[in-house]
Every structure is written in structure tokens, then in C-alpha cells.
Amino acid sequence: MPSPLLTIKNYPDNMPDNIQQWLLLLSNQISKERQLLNNDTTALDKVLHQAIDLNALSIRIPENFGGTNLDLKQQYYYYREMSRCSGAVAFLCAQHSTALDMIASGSNQKLKDEYLNKKYLFAVSFSHLREMINPPVQAIKDGTDYIINGNLRYITGYKLFNMLFIGFVCNNQEIFALIPFVPNDQFVVLKQLDLVAANAAQTVSCLLVNYRVDKDMVIMTNPHGTFNNKKNGTRNIAAFHIGLALATMDLIKSHKFIEIEQVKTTYNYLINEIQSCEDELVELDATAATIPIRIKIMALLNKVFLFADQIFKGSQTISGHPYGLIKKEAWIFFSLGSTVDTLIATCESLIPQLNV
């Protein structure tokens, strides 16, 4: 008797109603528009506002600020399902959710009151803070204001987001502040970057020239190196990888080759592997290091891709093929959160003898 196909666990039943509505919209409608949402900014903007209308982006914000305050397990399934249905939507919404979370965890109560329960949309640009020597975005003090100069190499959400959550260095401190995402003589958009996927999200590089930031727009201040020294990483990046693995497995499940017994056996084996990694990830303590499980999940995603390469063969190279698109989206998500620590962990996973 042929073996049945295995399935992955669904998201928890205790999700808030508005989040369940968003997840259903993702699976029933948005997943069918993956190609469109990678290329059409107007379509992506429409989906973004559907999420706003459902209040489905304030997932880590306390309820007293209008958020849903999902716990870590709920957040994991939220991000998994988003990337499973659309890498472009996940890529864009992750920027906004990250900014909201950092505003909520900051000390500026006025900014919380002003921005957390309003329909502002936030881009982010602070990964450059990992560069300890000659940081690319620096400021000097002018009274209580900051005068910023530097190159913001990657900002996603141009013409989609109206505010920018920016990080810069001043007097050996990392400063995080909010500024309008509006080009002018001091905030120059250099070019739009042509990414392999999610181009509708409009990623640009920008230049700040003597850009003035009022002290009242500062959200938090930390010693320089705090951002770079974060060792626990983020489980949300791993959730994106698992979502892409499941999106690929969904395509394989509907392919005619699934009737071949060896293919079905391999499919079930990989589903079990995905489930095992997922269980390990969601049970991690909030303070636990996530780099080991992230490296493990990236390796598993590459296994899934190796399997899918033999299923879809040459058809995946045709423009618009759904599997080819998922692989391109993966290139973007593989780069998120990449640091020297993840590089070393990758090397050690490839050559175990390095791990001494």
C-alpha cells in the first residue's frame, strides 16, 4: 500500500482573530499572486494596506498601543506562513515590524504615543552599525541636535513607507532615530537597486548630507558595538527559511513525480526534517543563541532545493516559474542577518574539524 504524504503542523489555534484572518488571506489569495507581488509595486502596496487594515503588522507591540503582542511561538508561525506565501510581502513587512518593535522597546514615550497606534509605515536602515571601524553613517552634535552624514546602502520600501528608522554613530554611541522617508537636498536617493527578487519592494541606496535630526526623534542610545555584539540573532530569519522550504514542498506535492515511491519517500523524509527543525526552533528560550539552528535550517533549505532541482529540471529556468522565483527569494533571505559569526558557523558546519 503506498505511503501517505506527511504534513507539517499548522499554526496554533490561539492566534488572535485578526492575525488568523491575515494568515487565511495569505494562503487563499496572496499565495496565488507571488510572481505579481515580486514585480508590481502597486499590487504589493495594496497587500500592505490590507495587512494594516487588519492590524496584522503590529505583532510585537503591547495591546495598550494597539498591537497584538504575539508570543515567540506565534511570531514564528506568522513569519513562516508569510514567506511561505510571498517572499516579497515577508521581506517588506519584516522591515516595518522590526521598526515598530524597536520603537516600543525604546525610552521615548512621546514617539511611542505618536507613532505606534497610527498608520505610519516604517523602513529600517541600521545594519551598517556592524562596521566597527570607520562606520559609514556618522553624526556630530550641534547643540542638542545631530548632524548626520553617510551612505545608507540598503533601504527597502521606497515610496511605500513614509518613515525611516535609522541608526548612526556619534561620540562612540549608537543612536537610533526616526526621520521622514522623504528625499530632499540632505537626503538623496542615489539609485534603486535591481534585486534578484522582491523588486516591487523598491530597495534603494541613499546619501545623507548634513542631515539634521532633532533630539526628540531619538528612540534609543547604546554604546557603539552593542548591535554588533548581539549573539542570539533572530529566529524570524529562520522562520522565513522554513517558509520557503514549505513553499517548495507545496509545489513538489502537486507535481506528477510525487507518485514515484522514491520521490514520495524523500518528500516525507524532508517534511520530517523540517518539522524537527521547526520544533527545535520554537522551543528555544528567548535568550538562547539562534545561529546554530539558523545554519541547520539553511542547510536543510538547500537540501529541499537539491530535491526540487531534480523534480522541476529545466522548467525552473523559465522566467516566472514558481520554483525559480522561490529560489531567488531565498537568495535575499539567506543574506539577512549575515555576520562574521554566521560565516564562521557556516564554515564549521561544512568542515567539523574547524570547530575546536
Counting Cβ atoms within 10 Å, is residue 339 exposed (0-12), middle (13-18) or buried (19+)? middle
Q: How far apart are CA 253 and CA 282, in angstroms?
A: 25
- pLDDT at position 267: 96
Number of helical H runs and strand E runs in the chain: 11, 8
- Output the CA–CA distances (angstroms, integers) from residue 267 to 94, 174, 245, in the order listed: 29, 47, 12
* pLDDT number for residue 226: 86
Q: Which three cell numbers stand for residue 8?
A: 507539517
Question: From CA 13, how far away is CA 171, in angstroms rounded?
Answer: 48
Instruction: Match 522562520 to its residue by C-alpha cell.
Output: 239
How far, CA to CA in Å, does 230 sit from each of 163, 226, 227, 269? 25, 7, 6, 34
Confidence at residue 233, expressed as pLDDT on a 0 to 100 scale: 54
Summarize pLDDT for 244-300 with one digit per residue, the tens.
999 999 999 999 999 999 999 999 999 999 999 999 999 888 778 888 899 999 999
Residue 160 belongs to what H/E stretch?
A: none
Helix, strand, or coil (residue 178): strand
**What would the pLDDT profile of 189-215 be if each residue is shown by its tens digit?**
999 999 888 899 999 999 999 999 999
Domains in the chain, ordered, with CATH? 17-115 (1.10.540.10), 122-223 (2.40.110.10), 235-354 (1.20.140)
Residue 297's pLDDT is 94
pLDDT in the model for residue 303: 96
Query: Would you state the cell numbers that stand for residue 151, as one nine-digit string?
Result: 551612505
Mean pLDDT, all residues of the chain: 90
Tell me the three-class secondary structure of 194-232, residue by residue.
CCCCCHHHCEEEEEEEEEEECHHHEEEEEECCCCCCCCC
The conformation of residue 162, written as its DSSP 8-state character, comes to S
Q: How far apart are CA 239 and CA 46, in angstroms?
A: 24
Q: How far is CA 150 from CA 105, 227, 337, in A?
A: 26, 18, 21
- In the DSSP assignment, the letter for residue 258 is G
Give the C-alpha separation, 13 to 162, whole Å.
34
Angle at CA 204, nearest 5°, toward 335 and 114?
A: 95
Q: Which three cell numbers stand for residue 334?
A: 539567506
Question: What is the model's pLDDT at position 280?
Answer: 93
pLDDT of residue 13: 81
Residue numbers in the chain where pLDDT is lower than 50? none
| Nearest to 56, CA basis, from 35, 33, 30 | 30
Q: Provide the pLDDT for residue 146.
A: 97
At position 14, the amino acid (one-letter code) is: N
Supply the pLDDT for residue 231. 54
| Cα-Cα-Cα-Cα dihedral sign, residues 103, 104, 107, 108 | positive
The whole-angstrom separation of Cα 32 and Cα 47 is 13
